A and B are shown apart, each in its own frame.
Chain A
Amino acid sequence: MLAEHHFRAMNTEVGVWLWSTSPIAQQALREVEQLFADVESQLSRFRDDSELCRLNARAGQGAVTVSQLLYRVLAQALAAARQTDGIFDPTLLPQLRQAGYDRSFELLADARDDSPLPPAPSGRNGWQQVCLDPAHSTVELPAGVAIDLGGIAKGWTVDRASELLADWGPSLVDAGGDMQARGLPGGESWPVALEDPFHPERDLLTLALADCAVATSTIGKRHWLRNGQRFHHLIDPRTGTSAASDLHTVTALAPSAMEAEVAAKTALLLGTVAGAAWLGKSGNPAILIQHSGQCTSVGQLPLWKRDEQ
């Protein structure tokens, strides 16, 4: 009854579970893998031939006609920037490169780069300068602005994959922690364990997900040293460098994986007090974990109770 499929895409492990009696459910799971491959080929910033890289290369050269896929995801990312007052900013790629995250993390983790840091990119709030024309499906980037859709593209793909499987039965799509749970397999919620970020072999609790999404932002996975200085991939747009938040990890729930991704990242950048307030205002249940290990929970987390099974 429960078919599953695992593959690697977007530099992470993807798992898909489908509760279906259909003998051709596996075909739907393979379509999900193809969907991830298609989105990655167009929106990856690590592929020189991707549409996103071609767009970034034409910053300052006028409007560029783009595919519906790139247009939609970029429009969603800019909408998220507006909703978070620019804390979630998809135009921080120059800052990310400046911090040293200029290649996929697998390559970055093995590299030793002690070259002097380049000067910090100028300009803030680049997201406000991006011009979209929905009538012609064009994007115009000002000079010096470059787009990174990494996290939000992954969440967007998870949501589309979940929609793709909707006709087959309840499903769970998990792309490196960005998850969308749809329906109730056998009348039950999807149990998803919350990993202890300091002891990955342990779980803090288990969530019961049904028709909702979850995403986790952390500085514990993608970090590196450069010139003896520690960097991570979460850039604070207010400083232009790796965020100095008191938070280590944030897991947030939302109706869609893309929204959960934005909520988790925004809260982590804001820190415990402002982040919890923002989450409460936006209506996203979450758990915030500080570097000290102290946990703060926001809203009502749907917990899986084994004794009710």
Chain B
Amino acid sequence: MTEPKRPQSAGRRVQGSSLAWKSGLLASSVGGLLLGWALLGQANPVPASTVAEIASPQPRVIVVQVPIPAASNGSQQLVSQSTQPVQANQQAVSSQSASASASPQISMPSMPQKPVFQQPVTRTRGS
């Protein structure tokens, strides 16, 4: 009653070669992905500021650009609101992204210099 032994070596060889092929395919895919990622990284280097944002996505900063009188200080042109304190570089990143994603920028022409005198300083008077 002994069943004849099936030739397993061939089967194992078939199974073993298939596994190796799949492993090779997977390895090459992963390798290609990594290589592509690396090449992509070289072609489009990530700005340091973005790196900072990625490394520290928190806190959330909402930047709202509002019109400012020409005489105001440039540093006040962006009004930021945040629920958490932010570091300078993080705010800079957010400002950058906000500027890029905001509606088309309206470039304000520089205002002509205000004349010193709008009217005569004094009047002649006879003596």
Contacts and interface: CB of A to CB of B under 8 A. Distances in A.
Interface of A: 2, 12, 15, 17, 19, 151, 154, 172, 174, 176-179, 185-188, 190-195, 197, 203, 206-207, 214-218, 220-222, 249, 251, 304, 309
A104 B126 CA distance: 16
Contacts of A190: 117, 121
Contacts of A174: 122
Given A185-B116, A191-B117, A309-B115, A221 B127 contact: yes
B125 A192 contact: no
B124 A188 contact: no
Contacts of A151: 127
6 contacts: A12-B127, A17-B122, A178-B127, A191-B117, A195-B123, A216-B124
A17 B124 contact: no
Nearest to A1: B116
Given A221-B126, A222-B127, A309 B120 contact: no
A218 B127 contact: yes
Interface residues of B, number: 13
B112 to A, nearest CB: 10
Interface of B: 115-127
A2 B116 contact: yes
Contact of B120 (A186, A192, A221, A251): A192
Contacts of A215: 127
Contacts of A220: 126
A193 B120 contact: yes
Given A186-B116, A309-B115, A192 B126 contact: no
B127 A192 contact: no
A188 B117 contact: yes
A192 B123 contact: yes
